[in-house]
Structure 1
Amino acid sequence: MALLCTWLYRSLHTSARVLKKGKAKSAAEHRWIQRQSKDPYVKASHNQNYRCRSAFKLLEIDDKFRLLLPGHAVVDCGAAPGAWSQVAVQRVNSAGTDPAAPRGTVVGVDLLNIATLDGAHFLPHHDVTDPSTHSKIQDLLPGGQAHVLLSDMAPNASGFRELDSEKLVSMCLTLTDLAEKLLLPGGSLLCKYWDGLLSHSLQEKLSCVFGSVRTVKPNASRKDSAERYFLARMYKRLIK
Structure 2
Amino acid sequence: MWCFSLQRRSLHSSFRLMKKLKGKTGAEQRWLQRQLKDPYVKASHAQNFRCRSAFKLLEIDDKFGLLQPGYSVVDCGAAPGAWSQVAVQRVNSAGTDPELPHGTVVGIDLLNIQALHGAHFLSSHDVTDPATHARLQELLPAGRAHVILSDMAPNASGFREMDHEKLIAMCLTLIDLAEKTLQPGGSLLCKYWDGSLAHKLQKSLSTVFASVRTLKPNASRKDSAERYFLARTYRKPVK
* TM-score, normalised with respect to structure 2: 0.93
SS at match of 2:207: helix
List alignment gaps of at least 5 residues for structure 1: 1-8
Please say if 1:17 is aligned against 2:16: no
In the alignment of these two chains, the number of paired residues is: 229
Contact residue 49 and residue 85 of structure 2 kept, 8 A: yes
CA distance in 1: counterparts of 2:64 and 2:45, whole angstroms? 25
DSSP-derived class of the 1:57 partner: helix
Partner of 2:233: 234
Contact map agreement 2:17 2:36 (CA 8 A) in 1: no
1:133 Cα offset (Å): 1.0
Deviation of the 1:18 alpha carbon? 5.3
1:37 aligns with 2:36: yes
Secondary structure in 2 aligned to 1:219? Answer: coil
Aligned to 1:191: 190
Instruction: Determine the C-alpha separation between the residues in 2 that align with 1:127 and 1:180.
Output: 16
User: Contact 2:107–2:122 at 8 Å: present in 1 too?
Assistant: yes
Percent identity between the two aligned chains: 75
Partner in structure 2 of residue 86 of structure 1: 85
Is the deviation greater in 126-135 or in 191-200? 126-135
Say if 1:12 and 1:33, in contact at 8 Å, map to a contact too.
no
Alignment partners' CA distance in 1, 2:147 and 2:129 = 19
CA drift at 1:12: 5.1
Going from structure 1 to structure 2, the CA distance change for 1:70 and 1:111 (only over 3 Å counts) comes to same
Counterpart for residue 177 of structure 2? 178
> For the residues of structure 2 that align with 1:203 and 1:15, how far apart are their CA atoms?
39
**Counterpart of 2:128 in structure 1: which amino acid?**
T
Structure 2 stretches of 5 or more lacking a match?
1-10
Distance 2:200 2:12 in 1: 40
Partner of 2:118: 119
2:14 and 2:134 map into 1 onto residues whose CA distance is 40
Q: Secondary structure at the match of 2:233?
A: strand
Provide the rounded CA distance (Å) in 2 between the counterparts of 1:187 and 1:19: 45
How far 1:10 sits from its partner (Å)?
8.7
C-alpha separation between the residues in 2 aligned to 1:160 and 1:149? Answer: 28
Are the aligned partners of 1:113 and 1:125 in contact in 2 as well (CA < 8 Å)? yes
In 2, the alpha carbon distance for the partners of 1:178 and 1:157 equals: 24
**Aligned-residue CA RMSD in angstroms?**
1.4
Q: Distance in 2 between the 1:145 and 1:124 partners?
A: 20
**Paired letter, 2:165:** E
User: Does the CA contact (< 8 Å) of 1:172 and 1:191 recur in 2?
Assistant: yes
Distance 1:12 1:157 in 2: 26
> Cα distance, 1:11 vs. partner?
8.0
Q: Residue 123 of structure 1 aligns to a residue in which SS?
A: strand
Q: Does 1:208 align with 2:207?
A: yes
Q: Distance in 2 between matches of 1:11 and 1:133?
A: 37
Tell me the residue number matched to 1:5. Answer: none
